Chain A
Amino acid sequence: MSDFNAMELMICVASRELEDGATCGVGTGAPCAAAMLGQKVNSPNLVIMFEAGGIAPLLPEMPISVGDSRTTNKAILAGSMCEIMETASRGMLDYTFLGGAQIDMYGNFNSTRIGNDHQKPKVRFPGSGGANDFASFAWKTMVMTPQDSKRFVEKCTYITSPGWLDGGDSRAKSGLPLNTGPYKIITNMAVMDFEPESKRMRIISINPGYSVKTVEENCGFELLKKSNIIETKPPTDKELHILREEVDPYRYVIGR
């Protein structure tokens, strides 16, 4: 087994979730790398969608922006924001990836602000962009993020994008499209899903070199534990080779 870093592991684990023929709304960086790797390893017919309007490009390299010209390189369609988000609203977007400054036990996300005064925040982040849209509409939302107790908080100071909201059936009752929501949280230490009834975050596998204890120590809330926690399958030589040679040869993402 080769050596690999945390980013490579997260990208490989995420890419295995994207089955052939699925649609996936991605941003720049790690999500785009996971989708490109997925296409090259298991899912040649995975459809990549970018929120600015690019659909099913043959990506020559990693885009810098989700609206740059690489996102329409030999694409099927160069559309619009409404084209993408309405496709998602109709129920044809299977996966998306989110990121942010804070995530809570129900998979809600903050990418807007720290501090309580909305008109004069302590720290201003970009805001939703297309994240709230994708998180509302996609069937399954995934996350790749480094894990620490500052990021994994009991309660987000501000919810930009919806996870399972207050847990239980609160998301279904909110009016958001039924049967959508957070699916997997992939960190440098572990992989989590959400317990079906309470919708609380739950450890399902531990990454090589980490323990349940370390994962718990690096989380600001109590994680549930699946009865049979396994070890996360590490990247294969084939995955690593394709990721390093074809997906991200300049190490823009995996070098972080």
Chain B
Amino acid sequence: MDIKDEGVGKLFTDPDPDKARAVFREKNRKMENKLMPLKDAVAQFAKDGEYLVIGGFGANRTPIAACHELIRQKRKKMAFAGHTSTHDFQVLSAGKVFNKVDAAYVVGLEARGLSKVSRAYMESGEVEVTEWTNYALAARFKAAAMGVSFVPVRNMMGTDTFRYSGAKKVECPFTGMDYVLLPALYPDISIIHAHEADIYGNCRFKGVLTADLDTARATKRLIITTERIVKTEVFRNEPNQTSIPYYLVDAVCEVPFGAYPGNMEGEYFSDESHLKEWLIVEKDPATFKAFLDKNIFNCKNHFDYIEQNGGMEKMLELRRKELMIGGA
């Protein structure tokens, strides 16, 4: 197949499916109890220099507790999938956890504005960046989930998004049309926040799934944080509701309110005043450092963080807001 055009962006992962198969061959298929504290899961399964994916979309069902743990444990030099990465990108930029980014949506928090710290980090020259789109990254996870090395798509053509990507343009052997080929993305470590999981790692969700089901299948290691642990019977009674089967999962961590200050469908709405505070304190380095100490470095876990920001009363208020009860 002749390559008609190609982007100049670097690939931060190897798309070779046989190398991935060799890793997946060794993955544990036993239904074993994988319940552990988040601190231990991050220490054991996420290493410096690896490729990291954070599930969810923006500040929705995003494992923020795990992002805090990554910066508490001072992970560095990771590669990161910036797949509508908003508040998670802000947290990870604050800790300079990554220095390589596959960028689709970064540095912004959608309608809330742009993060000064994320932006300064991306403009510093310290971060290697390859461009993609949200769908392109989702499709790259899909290719990996299929166990192949690329997938053809019809976006990105004619733009600088293609020019600065790691994609290639070829002619279709069936129709003669042009296609962009996207290389499969097999992450080293992914972290996904689920509504319900059992101790083995089976997971169920509410609301949008973004790219998480393909991510779970593409990744070499997977940490699940969950709002609540449920019995395995919950899955066995309604197997069509299982979104992630246990054998994809390496660790299960029970972290209620684990997406706070983001939104968790059916559980709690985003804490908009706290997210606004994040954007404001970033403007002054000393204020921001004190803010990070208070909210992350001096917290032993996510419960401490929640206590610093209104505790259970705040969580109940966000729950009423999510459920649109009583004018909250």
Chain A residues near B (Cβ < 8 Å): 27-29, 50-54, 60, 64-69, 71-72, 78-82, 85, 89, 108, 112, 117-133, 136-137, 158-162, 165, 170-171, 174-177, 252
Contact = CB atoms under 8 A, between A and B. Distances in A.
B208 A176 contact: no
Nearest to B139: A82
Interface string B149-171: 00001111111110010000100
Contacts of B122: 121, 124
25 contacts: A52-B210, A54-B208, A65-B60, A66-B58, A66-B110, A67-B84, A78-B207, A80-B208, A81-B138, A108-B159, A112-B160, A118-B129, A120-B124, A124-B106, A125-B108, A126-B107, A128-B105, A128-B161, A130-B84, A136-B154, A159-B160, A160-B161, A174-B157, A174-B178, A175-B169
Contacts of A80: 138, 208-213
B265 interface: yes
Given A85-B155, A129-B105, 19 more contacts: A28-B110, A52-B84, A64-B110, A65-B270, A66-B58, A80-B138, A80-B209, A85-B138, A120-B124, A123-B123, A126-B106, A127-B161, A128-B104, A128-B134, A133-B133, A136-B157, A160-B160, A176-B154, A176-B158
Given A81-B138, A137-B154, A162-B159, A121 B210 contact: no
Contact of A132 (B60, B84, B156, B324): B156
A219 B178 CA distance: 34
Task: Give chain A's interface secondary structure class.
Answer: loop
Contacts of B110: 27-28, 64-66
A137 to B, nearest CB: 7
Interface of B: 56-60, 82, 84, 86, 103-108, 110-112, 114, 119, 122-125, 127-129, 131-136, 138-139, 142, 153-161, 164, 169, 177-180, 206-214, 263-266, 269-270, 272, 322, 324
Nearest to A164: B158
A123 to B, nearest CB: 7
Contact of B322 (A69, A123, A128, A133): A69
A101 to B, nearest CB: 11
A64 B270 contact: yes
A159 B164 CA distance: 11
Given A51-B134, A52-B60, A118-B129, A78 B178 contact: no
A89 B56 CA distance: 23
Given A52-B57, A162-B158, A174-B157, A122 B123 contact: yes
B209 A78 contact: yes
Contacts of A174: 157-158, 178
B94 to A, nearest CB: 16
Nearest to A124: B122
